[in-house]
Amino acid sequence: MNNSKNKKISINEITGARKFVLDLLLKAQKNNSFSNILLDKALENSYMSSHDKALACTLFYGVIEKRITLDYQIAKLSSRPIDTIDATTLCALRMGLYQLIFLDKIPAHAAIYESVELCPKKSAGFANAILRAFTRSEGVAYPSEDDYAEHLSVRFSVGKALCEKFIAAYGKERATSILAAFDETPPTTLRINTLKTNTQKWMQSAKDAELCALAKNAVKIHGSVRSAYGFEDGFFFVQDEASQLCVKALEAREDQIVMDICACPGSKSFGAAINMNNKGEVYAFDLHAKKLSLIESGAKRLGIDIIRIAECDGRKFLPEFSERADRVLCDVPCSGFGVLAKKPELRYKDPSESAQLPTIQYDILSNASRYVKQGGMLVYSTCTVFPEENEDNINKFLAEHPEFVLSPFKSGNLICEKGYVTLLPDEHHTDGFFIARLKRV
């Protein structure tokens, strides 16, 4: 994620971050760790300056996000197969090429020098030759469009199998547009906590914030969340606009009973409770007990006291809630292919690994429907953009549950007359997301 500053960066400034990033990249590769968790923990234990930390974030996320693109360039320039290059040298080459291609504020000589310094002595000459050869080349190379999936894979650094899936679902032109949107670094989106302030008042005190287009109390910022106005006071929480639209579709009201079946980390439960003016009952369940503390701490910061948490598998029926809930939300576990811009590891995930998810999702949806009272609403959502996890599940559910019908909803300029919508980053400027609203009749 390119967060580079406008001023030139010297060799000495780079030195503070280079070994730190290399070690993290090697650890992430070896342990198959989530990049954000690994980086956050490492930064907490680091004594680097804030400037070096920012550069480390840029390099670390950037190399992970652009791995396929970078490796293609290395393979083109190398005299030896890429799978024979040792891990340290390969990571150092990726870092060097990332700086040469994507960080125009770092001088080429600095990027090359620092990267070669990271390599073992026996491969330093090899790495130096590769990086200098790139500076003499015509720039970034891509495969021919004859194999369009391969072309997209290298162009946007997304696994070929996933590119093939996007093409199959959306066609070449739209797939290209969607992947290009995922390639942009998104701003952070906040939901303003109207229990403590209002959006207009918060905007007057905030810096570099802008209103979102679709969700009423959504704002975008480009800086640090913790340094944004009112964090400690609970004036907002982080929630993508698509997720906020999902909560809007739920239309939770004062004194209602709301169930959030797969609740962690809690943003939708928070949004529902705020829309209810902190009056009523919100039951937040999740399979992972360790994550429930996130909901407790978040609710406390936001001044919400109507959320009740409990560990529960969404497929397990809770008879005490049978037909009791006014609103039920099923934000089910999914492949996550709508958030490639925020979770770089998902770029390389093989879609076949998600083959069992639609069955699990459907089982959660069917079980959750048993909690909805007559006239109540059931909202189904995912952060993916493919039909087998979205429309196909809803169509199957409607065929087997005639007591439910799709219910139209709207938010701002977004009008969902069919009762469902797939949000896409190139069109709606949100995460890729699916929302369906069903009413029990």
Catalytic residues: 383
Q: Which residues contact 198 (CB under 8 A, 6 or more apart)?
A: 192
Please identify which residue in the block is written with the tokens 């920012």: 54
Tell me the three state secondary structure of residue 325. strand
Please identify which residue in the block is written with the tokens 């906590």: 193
Q: Where are the alpha helices (DSSP H) in 119-240?
A: 121-136, 148-156, 160-182, 199-205
* Torsion sign (Cα): 106, 112, 115, 118: negative
Main-chain phi, psi angles of 103, to 5 degrees:
-115, 90
Q: Is 303 left (phi over 0), alpha (psi -120 to 50) or beta?
A: left
> What six digits make up the tokens of 169?
């679902």
Main-chain phi, psi angles of 333, to 5 degrees:
-60, 135
Count of alpha carbons within 13 angstroms of residue 396, beta-carbon side: 14
Strand residues in 231-277 grouped as ranges (E) = 236-238, 256-260
Please identify which residue in the block is written with the tokens 């670094």: 185
Residues in the chain, overall count = 441
DSSP for 48-66, written as a single string: --HHHHHHHHHHHHHHHHT
> What six digits make up the tokens of 402?
């005639």
Q: Which residues contact 138 (CB under 8 A, 6 or more apart)?
A: none
Calpha distance 373→213 (Å, rounded): 33
Q: Residue 243 CA to chain centroid, in angstroms?
A: 11
* Torsion sign (Cα): 63, 67, 69, 72: positive
Distances (CA, A) of 383 to 61, 117, 340, 401: 21, 41, 10, 24
Which helix or strand (DSSP H or E) is residue 250 part of?
helix 241-250
| Contact yes or no for 181/170 (Cβ under 8 A) | no
